[in-house]
Amino acid sequence: MAEKKDLRINSKVYTENNVKAPNRAMLRAVGFTDEKFQMPQIGVASNWAETTPCNIHLNDLAQFAKEGVSKAGGVPIQFNTITVADGIAMGTQGMRFSLPSRDIIADSIETMVGGQNLDALVAIGGCDKNMPGCAIAMANLNVPAVFVYGGTISPGKHKGEDIDLVSVFEGVGKWNNGEIGDEELKDIECNGCPGPGGCGGMYTANSMAAALEAMGMSLPGSASNPAVSKDKEQDVYEAGQAVLNLLEKDIYPKDILTKEAFENAITVVYALGGSTNAILHLLAIAHAAEVELSIDDFNVMQEKVPHLADLKPSGKYVFQDLYNVGGVQGVMKYLYENGLIHGDCLTVTGKTIAENLEAVEHLTEGQDVVMPLDNPKRADGPLIVLKGNLAPLGAVAKVSGVKVRRHEGTAKVFDTEQAAIDAVMANDIVKGDVVIVRYVGPKGGPGMPEMLSLSSLISGKGLGEDVALLTDGRFSGGTRGLVVGHIAPEAQEGGPVALVQTGDTVTIDQDTKEITMHVSDKEMKARADKLELPPLYKKGVLGKYAHIVSNSSLGAVTDFLNRDDLYKK
């Protein structure tokens, strides 16, 4: 009989000899026995917190993961990380902590698993930055790992129609416009978020959950299974078992996170009409996994992959509707059968994408959540990387549902989001304008806050396709309308966006993928010579972040070592 494989790739250090008796003594205090010291120790990282519906249920789900680990012969060790609720922080100073939380989550998981010599990891996330934070940690640690999404929220109801959190944001714009009264806005507010789960449209949480499943880092179905469902409980339990299988088979995250796996993720995000944040996060995960992925690769994929899903914010359905007709796996099967998915990529099941898809049912016949390839929502991808004299290193435009191919208008420039919000509320923003919010990038924000409050006000006032909104900050996945974010270099670095002035003419062109300020080189140089940048934030988490973060076109990572080349790429 073959000797049983020792799966304690790290934790074996505690059982080597009597010298480690003190280490074992402390572990005995938390429930370890002689028998458990012979078993692999599996971290179960939960992003549980009482601050948001996205994460409120994750502690309960973690118990299913622990059961799965125990059943498969491991010792589960649960710990928590932080989370920032974007929807709650939106439009406040708290939003500056959102993107940094991604790296804090990654660092805390890496610290726990590395510091405790754990052998493998199951990570459970719910809100936007949880998914990339967990994935970055997995890539940096490179121990066998499985990610589980906490699941999408169920839709709320208002006047017989499905609504979600973005409905509330846009309701504020309608209220300001006089289209609805206080009572109706209150009804939308009270019904927009009916229970646990990530925001219900194809926003950043669902976008990144779908991306990680497409990459092979989640079990099939994890992205689609709703937060409140037996399917979600089952897939968390199975993740606990799957991670022991990965240990047995010596399958590590960097075996899964290949260039082709990232291309699968981009394909699924584009087909589903995902968030601009997916570009930022996929670049950061690729950096951690040491995969050569650049912002220009996204335009290559954008030309190949059509937008198929009629999901909010640009469509009518919520993510649970996708689950009801076959989920992300059904979409992946359709894309694979039509040559748009790499089927030979390894996954956390120990099988390839193609092997996993063999058991998957086709999308429900007659469904209209996902359009066919011969009649797509859009013939190419809905996220476009723009470059030009306003964004030499790139900017990201979200054009799902936007009919305008080219917008040229007069710039109205604001150095804070609140100043722009005040202008919209005062009806100072009119058709044709190009609203620019700057000094809110990774360094300048600091933290690259999202602009959902502002973009929703513009859309709620009926100006979504008539006013362009540009920023070196970010947009929520719930944003719709003519928006361009992630402008790099950012204003805080002295990028050209710091030089644009109210009254300048600015052009955004989908077809040429250009973003241009119509100002001569001579004038731009004269403005640059007079430019005085505000000081970087100096204290605490945001101060540290502002001094070490890279530009958005590199994923806004905090461990980019080639500082001299940072703004030359």
Q: Give 338-362 pLDDT, tens digit per residue.
A: 999 999 999 999 999 999 999 999 9
Collapsing DSSP to helix, strand or coil, 558 comes out as coil
Write down the pLDDT at residue 2: 62
Angle at 400 between CA 399 and CA 404, to 5 degrees: 50
pTM value? 0.95
Q: Is 541 helix (H, G, I), strand (E, B) or coil?
A: helix
Burial 454-493 (b: 16+ CB within 10 A, else e): bbbbbbbbebbbbbbbbbbbbbbbbbbbbbbbbbbbbbbb
Average pLDDT, the chain: 94
Average pLDDT over residues 84-113: 95
Judge contact between 235 and 62, C-beta under 8 A. no
Averaged over 77-83, what is the pLDDT?
Answer: 97
Tens-digit pLDDT profile for residues 141-165 = 999 999 999 999 998 899 988 888 8
Structure confidence at residue 438 as a pLDDT band (50, 70, 90): very high
Cβ neighbour number for residue 295 with a 10 Å cutoff: 24
Tokens coding 205 = 């949480």
Backbone angles phi, psi at 378, to 5 degrees: -155, 140
pLDDT digits (tens, 9 = 90+) for 268-306: 999 999 999 999 999 999 999 999 999 999 999 999 999
What Cα–Cα distance (Å) separates residue 215 from each residue in 218, 269, 286, 423? 8, 11, 11, 42
- Mean pLDDT across 427-449: 97
Closest CA to 295 of 392, 436, 407, 439: 392
End-to-end CA distance of the chain: 56
Residues catalogued as catalytic: 476
Residue 424 has pLDDT above 70, yes or no: yes
Chain-centre distance for alpha carbon 380: 21
- pLDDT, one tens digit per residue, over 360-369 is 999 999 999 9
| pLDDT classification of 265: cutoffs 50, 70, 90 | very high
- Encode pLDDT of 289-298 as tens digits: 999 999 999 9
Give CA separation, 449 vs 204, 441, 473, 553, 562, in Å: 14, 7, 6, 16, 25
Confidence of residue 320 (pLDDT cuts 50, 70, 90): very high
